[in-house]
Structure 1
Amino acid sequence: MREKTRVISTARFSLPAVCVFFALVALSDATPVQAQQRYRQWGNPDGARSGSGQTQKFVDRLNRLIIEAAKSRAADPRFLNDLRDLARSFDRPWRRRVFYDDFRDGNFTTDPAWTVSAGRYWVEKGWGLRSSIEPGPAAAPSGDTGNKRLRGKDAAIAILGAVLGQAAGNRGGANAPAPAALTSVAGIQTRVRITNAFAIKFELSSWLGKGNGRGQKQTGKFEIGPYRGIAAGAGYRLTYRPGGVFELLRVSPRGTGIIDAVSATALEDRKPHAIEWTRRADGVMSVTVDGKQILSATDRGLRRGFNGIQIINRGGDYIVKRVAVYGVN
């Protein structure tokens, strides 16, 4: 009787394990050669980096097998966890594109519509959405009566430049010359519903301003990320500081906290760099630059979705060539 029970238990384990084994074999055999034989090459830039949709189908099947095996307790939990990690490395759940803009039309105020909340932005023809803020002098202490004021002709020129610059920035015109910055921050955002698990792809180039040559300390910061409520509300932000420092931030009513930071390759070569930032349903976030992972961290502080994406320039000269946002079903 014991032997019979043992045989049944072994068979119960073997069937899901064998199914998983063959799923893994099929996944490993999904080579680009076979994919090309079955499907024609598709030049969609929004396609998954992992290859054809056939790989994703195998991952979905493997995930279903793992769920069934876990429910029936047909395999060792540690073995199932290893399988989940393997499937996660191939899985791309962000399959629904919810936003895209490459600024080729030379305008950012329509289709889709961006709103400038501070400073100014313009479309640099052939490059993308640009904002430039030169580092300003240190602020004078509060109550200081020695502040230098603009008078006469200088004041009139400054006011006229600010008015003309704001008017050009609000129109979203292309190739608008950048006047002297009268602010230390520039912000722009657009409304779009984004799931809590998301993928944001964008191309960024960083341009050194005058007086920021080699050997000098770089100041300023570029920020991008989804927000909830108003643009300055809760959300996540990926920041870049000239010199190669990347940070993941969580913004909440309690303040801003650093989730993780890393010093990576600097982007000050005036060339577009492909950056991808993903967040999974379990809070795991990853950042890659030109296909190389530089950050991986977990944060579950914000569990609901978002209703917009924002870009902030806190000092520097940056161009966003294109940006795409993906959500989960």
Structure 2
Amino acid sequence: MDNSSRGARKRAWIRAGQAGLLCAGLALGVALPTDGALAENAVPTYQPWTGTTQGKATQKLIADLKAKIAQAEMDQAASPDFLADLKKALADYEAATMVSQAQPFLDTFSDGEFATNPAWKVTAGSWQVDKSGSNRGLVSKIRQQANLNSLLGNLLNPQGTQTQANAQYAAIYTKAKLPGFFAASTKFTSKDRYGGLQMSLYQGASAQNQYRLAYQPGNNQGLVLQKVTASGATTLGAYNGALNLEDGNAHQLSWSRDSAGKMIVQLDGQTAISASDTSLGGDFDGILLTNVGGSYWLREVSVKPLQ
């Protein structure tokens, strides 16, 4: 076989390889760069995928496409720029799929219970829902204080039998797939000027990683924003001043985190803390509420993707 024949066969094989990769990319629903000749001559081999993005078939398709890209790179069967664009499109698709698994969360406790829709689980102390009077919502009352930094991880496991009289803290959590870049808020009423209320977004089966926002009545740092890991709690920012929210009114704590890790905490619409941290990546697995001393009525807890 002469060189011209071998060259013609090689060019035909390369075009076929490019067409196959392109069709696989289109099956994922991603936009890929093409040239005019390839778009004109390619014959579709695969049909567009219409199943769930979380199914096993999609996972297999992604794995197969990665393998074909790797083989094409090894055999130099396609343009390096084309393969780079295809890999980037695949990475963007996987990232978008991961984000889409997170869902907005809202509970106003207006149904009078917390065991279902959504399901909260008590691991320490006593919690109940109060639907009457000016103070209403998810209620927790603790008379003894616990040190803020002593409550690290493992709060999703029951703490054994504790009576309301001897409980040192109260904890309740709900599992929910929550976005890594979020806008969270809670509306609550506080009665006692001691102890504290903590709201955490956690990762892991034992809440080993958390971003935690704490209200501390009677403290010269009225609000504290922390990162909690197995190695301890790190303060990311604080409101340096006492806060007096024990006035019988409901107050709203709002808390956001953007894609650059910038976090803003607002109290009743006024910025109280600005901080930044990028060390906890990915989605969060749930919400943890902890009462370390005081009486609190939570009227609303919400988390949604940051717009």
Distance in 2, matches of 1:231 and 1:271, equals 34
Distance in 2, matches of 1:278 and 1:303, equals 15
Matched, 1:228 2:203: yes
Sort the Cα spacing of 1:194 and 1:137 in 2 relative to 1 into closer, same or farther, 3 A. Answer: closer
Does the 8 Å contact 1:243/1:267 carry over to 2? no
Residue ranges of structure 1 left out of the alignment (5+ in a row): 1-95, 139-161, 167-178, 209-217
Equivalent position SS for 1:265: coil
Query: Which position in structure 2 is the counterpart of 1:246?
Result: 223
Equivalent position to 1:259, from 213, 225, 236: 236
- Superposition pairs for residues 60-209 of structure 1, below 5 Å? 98-126=104-132, 127-135=136-144, 180-208=164-192
* Equivalent AA in structure 1 for residue 168 of structure 2: S
Distance in 2, matches of 1:264 and 1:285, equals 21
How does the TM-score come out when normalised to structure 1? 0.53
Does the 8 Å contact 1:220/1:315 carry over to 2? yes
How does the TM-score come out when normalised to structure 2? 0.57
Distance in 2, matches of 1:219 and 1:207, equals 9
Query: Which position in structure 2 is the counterpart of 1:301?
Result: 279
Distance in 1, matches of 2:146 and 2:103, equals 42
Distance in 1, matches of 2:144 and 2:137, equals 22
* Equivalent AA in structure 1 for residue 238 of structure 2: A
Q: Could you tell me the percent identity over the aligned residues?
A: 35
Distance in 1, matches of 2:206 and 2:110, equals 25
How far does the alpha carbon of each residue in 1:77-134 deviate from its partner, in whole angstroms, 9 at most, with x for none? xxxxxxxxxxxxxxxxxxx861111111110001111000111100011410010001
Segment drifting more, 306-315 vs 129-138: 129-138
Q: Which contiguous aligned blocks of 4+ residues in structure 1 show a shift greater than 4 angstroms?
A: none
Compute the displacement of 1:326 (Å).
Answer: 0.3
Query: Which position in structure 1 is the counterpart of 2:259?
Result: 281
Distance in 1, matches of 2:145 and 2:243, equals 26
Sort the Cα spacing of 1:301 and 1:315 in 2 relative to 1 into closer, same or farther, 3 A. Answer: same
Compute the displacement of 1:227 (Å).
Answer: 0.3
Bigger Cα Rg: 2
Distance in 2, matches of 1:310 and 1:297, equals 21
Compute the displacement of 1:253 (Å).
Answer: 1.8
Does the 8 Å contact 1:248/1:261 carry over to 2? yes
Matched, 1:237 2:212: yes
Does the 8 Å contact 2:103/2:178 carry over to 1? no
How many equivalent pairs are there? 190
Residue ranges of structure 2 left out of the alignment (5+ in a row): 1-101, 148-159
Query: Which position in structure 2 is the counterpart of 1:51?
Result: none
Compute the displacement of 1:223 (Å).
Answer: 0.3
Distance in 2, matches of 1:121 and 1:196, equals 28
Sort the Cα spacing of 1:99 and 1:137 in 2 relative to 1 into closer, same or farther, 3 A. Answer: closer
Equivalent position SS for 2:278: coil
Compute the displacement of 1:254 (Å).
Answer: 1.5
Compute the displacement of 1:226 (Å).
Answer: 0.6
- Superposition pairs for residues 20-35 of structure 1, below 5 Å? none
